[in-house]
Amino acid sequence: MFAVVMLAGIYGLVCASFFVAMDAVDVAFTEASIGAGISTLLMLTTVAMTGRTDHEATHKPLMAFVAVIVTGGLLIYGTFDMPYFGSADAPVHQHVGPHYIYDSIQEIGVPNMVTSVLASYRGFDTFGEVTVIFTAGIGVLALLSVARRPEDDAVMEAINDSMHEKHLILRIVIKTMIPFIVLYAFYVQFHGDYGPGGGFQAGVIFAAGIILYAMLFGLGAARRVITQPVVQMLSALGVLVYGSVGLVSMLNGGSFLDYNVLAADPIAGQHLGILLIELGVGLTVASVMIIIFYSFVGRSQFQKANKGELL
Amino acid sequence: MIIAATLAVLVVMILAIIRAVVGPSLYDRILAVNMFGTKTVLLIALLGFVMGRPEFLDIAMVYALINFVSVIGVLRLSDAFNAKHNGPVAEPAKRDS
Amino acid sequence: MDTVLTLLSSFCLLFGSFLCLSGGVGILRFPDFYTRMHAVGVTDTLAAAMILIGLMLQNPDLLVIIKLMMILLMTLFISPAASHALGQAAVLNKLQPLINMNINPLEEDTSAGDKSSKS
Amino acid sequence: MRYKINLSIVLALFWLLNSGHYTYLILALGAVSIAIVVFITHRMDVVDHESQSINLSLTAPKFGIWLAKEIVVANLTVIKHIWLGNKSISPTVITVKASQKTDVGKVIYANSITLTPGTVALGLVGNEIMVHALIRENIEALESGDMDRRVSQLENS
C-alpha cells in the first residue's frame, strides 16, 4: 500500500512536469502543491488509519486489468476524432480563447492571463469551486471530528516531547524554514496577478507550512497556534469574502462578480476585485486543508489512543 | 547545452523511478522519491529556460518545499507504523582495526 | 566576455549533467540503502549546484539569478536534513547496513540484504 | 525581541528579492504579510536563537567556502567509486564526537557531514554523531577532526 501511495506521489510530480512542458504554469503549480504534496500526505494518513496491508483480493485482478485496458483503448480511440494537438482550427482556439488571449490585458489589466480568466471571466465557476472545497471541509468535519478529551492531549504532549529530542536536526532546520514557507505563501497569494500563483496555490503552501509544524511539534501544538474554531471561521470567511465582492458589485449596479463597477476606473475595479476574491480563495483553501489535516490526524491518533498503542 | 542537461535529468528521473519500483526496502523507495523530487526541481528550472519563461522558477521553489514536507510526512507516518518494532538504536558496528 | 560566459555555463551544465547521471547510476548500482544515500547526496549537492550555476550564467536578469540562488540555497539547506531524517528512520527501524564487505568476505552472507521493512 | 526584528528584516529582504514588483500596493501587502508571519511564528514559538543559526558570525563565509571545496572533492571521490563499482567501496559505520557546545553547532556539524557526499550522519544523540561512510578514507578525514574544529570556530566567534 505504501509503495502505491509513493508511486501516486511520483505520478503527481510527472504530471506537473508535463504541465510545465505544455506551458500551463498555473496548472503545474497547483498539481505540484496539491497533487504531489498534500494529497500524498492525506492518502498516507488514510492508510495509517485503515491499516497498511490490504485484505486478500476477492475479485480477479486479471478481469480488472482487462477492463482498464479496454476502457483506456476506447478513450484513446475517442481522441482520434479530436483535432490534432496544436492545430489552429481546433474548437478551443475558435471560441472564447482568442478573446481571452488578446483582450484580457485591456479589459482586466492583469498580466497573468490565467488569473484573469479564473477570477474574472470565469469568476462564477471559481466561486463554485471554492464552495465545493468549503463543503468538502464541512463533510470531513462532520465525518471525522472527534470530541477531544484533555487526557488525550496530555498523552500526546509526552510523545511530542520525545519527537523533539529525537529529531534535533529536523527541529532546527524546520524552525528556520517555517517563517519563509509561510511568507512564500503570502508572496504567491499576492503575486498571482503577475506570475503563476494565486489563492489556490497560496492556500496549499500555507497549509503545508502549518502541516510541517504539526508533524514536528505535534498536533496539539499546532492546534494551539491555529485553533480549530479559528480555522473553521476562516474557511467560512473566505467564501463570505468572495460572495460579498459579488454582492457589492451587484449593489453598485453591475451583475454578480462584475468588478468593473467596484472602482471609478474599470481596470482598477477589476484589480481590486481579483485581489479580494483571490484572498477569499486563499483563506478557504488554506483553512480547509488545515481542517482536513487536523481531522485526519486527530482521528488516527484518537483510534490509536483507544487501542492503547499510542506510539 | 540546456537541452542536454534536461535530457540528463530526465534519464536520472527514470533511473530513480526504477529504484522506487524495485525497492527492495521502504526506505529505498522513499529515497528514490525524494531524489525524484529534487530532480523535478532541476527539471522545472531547466524547462523554464528552454521555454524562455524564467517565472517557472517560482514553481521550482514550491517543489523544493513541498518535496521536503512530503518526505518528512512520509517518514513521520512510517515511524508511526513501525512503532511496534521500535527498540533501542541499532548498535553501530565497531571499526575493525 | 559573452563567449567566456557561454563556455563557462556550458561547462557547468555538462558537468552537472554528468554528475547527475553518475548519481543515477549509483542509486541503481550500489548494494544497499545506506550506500545509495551517498549517490543521492551527489545529485543533491554538486550536480544541482552546477546545473543551477550554469543557468545563472546564462541569464543576465538579476531577479532570475536571485531566484536561482534561493533555490540552490534551499536545496543545500533542505537536502541534508531530509537525508538525515531518512537515514535516522532507517537506523531506528533496524535496517542493517552492509559493512566492510570487501574486507571480510565471510561477513557478506550474514549482513547482506535488507532485513526489515518490506513495504 | 531582537530575534523578531532580525527575522522581520530577513523576511523583508526575502520578499523584496523575490517580488520584482515594487508598487505601493504590493509593498504594503508585503508589510502586512510579514507582520502576519511574525505573529504566527511568535505563536508557534519558533523564533529564538535556534532558528537564526545563519547569521552566526563573520567567519561564516570562510567556512562556507571551505565547505564548498570539501563538497566538490567529496563529490568527485564518490563519482569515481560509482563508476569503479561495488568492489571499490568499503561502507563503514562509526560514531564521531561533536565538540560543539550548542545544539545549533551540532546540527551544523551533522549537516555538513551529510552535505559532503560519502558520509551521512545517521543519528545525533548527545554529542555523538553516528556516521555512515562509503569508503574508509572518508572516515579518516572525519576523525582527523578538521571539520569539527572549523564548526566549533564558527560557533565561538
C46/B contact by beta carbon, under 8 A: no
Q: Which range marks the domain in which residue B20 is found? A: 1-37+50-67
Residue C111 reports pLDDT greater than 50: no
Report the percent of chain D where pLDDT is more than 70. Answer: 90
| Alpha carbon distance D155, D149 (integer Å) | 10
- Cβ atoms < 10 Å from Cβ of C65: 18
- How many CB pairs (< 8 A) connect B and D? 13
Subunits with 3+ C-beta pairs closer than 8 A to D: A, B, C
C73/B contact by beta carbon, under 8 A: no
Q: Do A36 and B36 touch (CB under 8 A)?
A: no
Chosen from A1, A15, A17 to mutate, greatest number of chain B CBs within 10 A: A17
List of chain D residues whose C-beta atoms are within 8 Å of the C-beta of residue B89: 123, 125, 130
Q: How confident is the model at residue C109 (pLDDT cuts 50, 70, 90)?
A: very low
Q: Smallest CA–CA separation between D142 and chain A, in Å? A: 19
List of chain C residues whose C-beta atoms are within 8 Å of the C-beta of residue A173: 77-78, 81
D24/C contact by beta carbon, under 8 A: no
Residue ranges covered by each domain of chain D: 2-52, 60-156
Closest-approach residue (CA) in chain A for D27 = A190
Q: Smallest CA–CA separation between D150 and chain C, in Å? A: 18
Chosen from D94, D115, D120, D135 to mutate, greatest number of chain B CBs within 10 A: D94
Residue B11 lies in a domain: yes
Q: How confident is the model at residue C115 (pLDDT cuts 50, 70, 90)?
A: very low
- Tens-place pLDDT, residues C41-59: 877 888 888 888 888 888 7
Q: How confident is the model at residue C118 (pLDDT cuts 50, 70, 90)?
A: very low
List of chain D residues whose C-beta atoms are within 8 Å of the C-beta of residue C83: 114, 120
Average pLDDT over residues B23-43: 83
- Determine the residue type at D103: D
* Residue A89: predicted pLDDT: 61
* Residue B83: predicted pLDDT: 47
| Alpha carbon distance B30, C89 (integer Å) | 11
Closest-approach residue (CA) in chain A for B45 = A20
**Residue B93 or residue B75, greater confidence:** B75
Residue B86 lies in a domain: no
Q: Do D53 and A176 touch (CB under 8 A)?
A: yes
* Residue A168: predicted pLDDT: 75
* Residue D156: predicted pLDDT: 65
* Residue A162: predicted pLDDT: 52
List of chain C residues whose C-beta atoms are within 8 Å of the C-beta of residue B8: 16-18, 20-21
Helices (H), D45-132: 60-84, 103-115
Q: How confident is the model at residue C114 (pLDDT cuts 50, 70, 90)?
A: very low
Report the percent of chain C where pLDDT is more than 70. Answer: 81
Closest-approach residue (CA) in chain C for B79 = C89
Q: Do C99 and D91 touch (CB under 8 A)?
A: yes
- Tens-place pLDDT, residues D76-134: 888 888 888 777 777 888 888 877 777 778 888 888 888 887 788 888 777 788 888 88
Q: Do B89 and D139 touch (CB under 8 A)?
A: no
**Residue C70 or residue B77, greater confidence:** C70
Contact C60, A152 (CB under 8 A): no
B92/D contact by beta carbon, under 8 A: yes
In this structure, what C-alpha cell is assigned to residue C19? Answer: 554528475
Sheet of strand D92-97, all strands in order from the earlier edge strand to the far edge: D92-97, D128-133, D119-125
Q: Do B92 and D125 touch (CB under 8 A)?
A: no
Structural domain tally of chain B?
1
Helices (H), chain A: 2-21, 25-30, 39-50, 61-79, 97-107, 113-116, 123-144, 150-166, 168-190, 199-217, 219-225, 228-251, 266-307
In this structure, what C-alpha cell is assigned to residue B29? Answer: 523507495
- Tens-place pLDDT, residues B45-87: 888 888 777 677 777 888 788 888 888 877 776 665 554 344 3
Residue B28 lies in a domain: yes
Nearest to D114 by CA among A151, C80, B76: C80
D94: which strand partners? D131
The maximal CA–CA distance of chain C, rounded, in angstroms, is: 59
| Planar angle of CA A93, A99, A105, nearest 5 degrees | 130
Chosen from A175, A188, A272, A287 to mutate, greatest number of chain D CBs within 10 A: A175
B53-67, C93-107, D63-77: least confidently modelled range:
C93-107
Closest-approach residue (CA) in chain B for D122 = B92
Residues in chain C: 119
List of chain A residues whose C-beta atoms are within 8 Å of the C-beta of residue B83: 309, 311
Interface of D with B in 62-121 (CB under 8 A): 92-95
Report the percent of chain B where pLDDT is more than 90. Answer: 0
Residue D148 reports pLDDT greater than 50: yes
* Residue A153: predicted pLDDT: 58
Q: Do D111 and A226 touch (CB under 8 A)?
A: no
Report, as ranges of residue numbers, the positions in chain A whose pLDDT lies below 70.
1-3, 6, 20-25, 32-33, 35-36, 48-60, 82-120, 145-166, 195, 257, 261-264, 300-311
D145/C contact by beta carbon, under 8 A: no
Long-range contact set of residues D52-60: C-beta below 8 Å, sequence gap at least 24: D52/A176, D52/D3, D52/D6, D52/D7, D53/A172, D53/A176, D53/D104, D53/D107, D53/D108, D54/A176, D55/D6, D56/D104, D56/D154, D56/D155, D57/D154, D57/D157, D58/D157, D59/D153, D59/D154, D59/D157, D60/D154
* Residue B79: predicted pLDDT: 64
List of chain C residues whose C-beta atoms are within 8 Å of the C-beta of residue B82: 92-93, 117
Q: Do C70 and D118 touch (CB under 8 A)?
A: no
Nearest to D32 by CA among D45, D15, D47: D15
Chosen from C45, C71, C96 to mutate, greatest number of chain B CBs within 10 A: C71
Report the percent of chain D where pLDDT is more than 90. Answer: 0
- Determine the residue type at A310: L
Strands D92-97 and D119-125: unpaired
Q: Smallest CA–CA separation between B96 and chain D, in Å? A: 10
Q: Smallest CA–CA separation between B59 and chain C, in Å? A: 10
Residue B63 lies in a domain: yes
Burial letters for D132-156: b for 16+ Cβ neighbours within 10 Å, e otherwise? bbbbbebbebbeeeebbebbbebbe
Q: Smallest CA–CA separation between C10 and chain D, in Å? A: 18
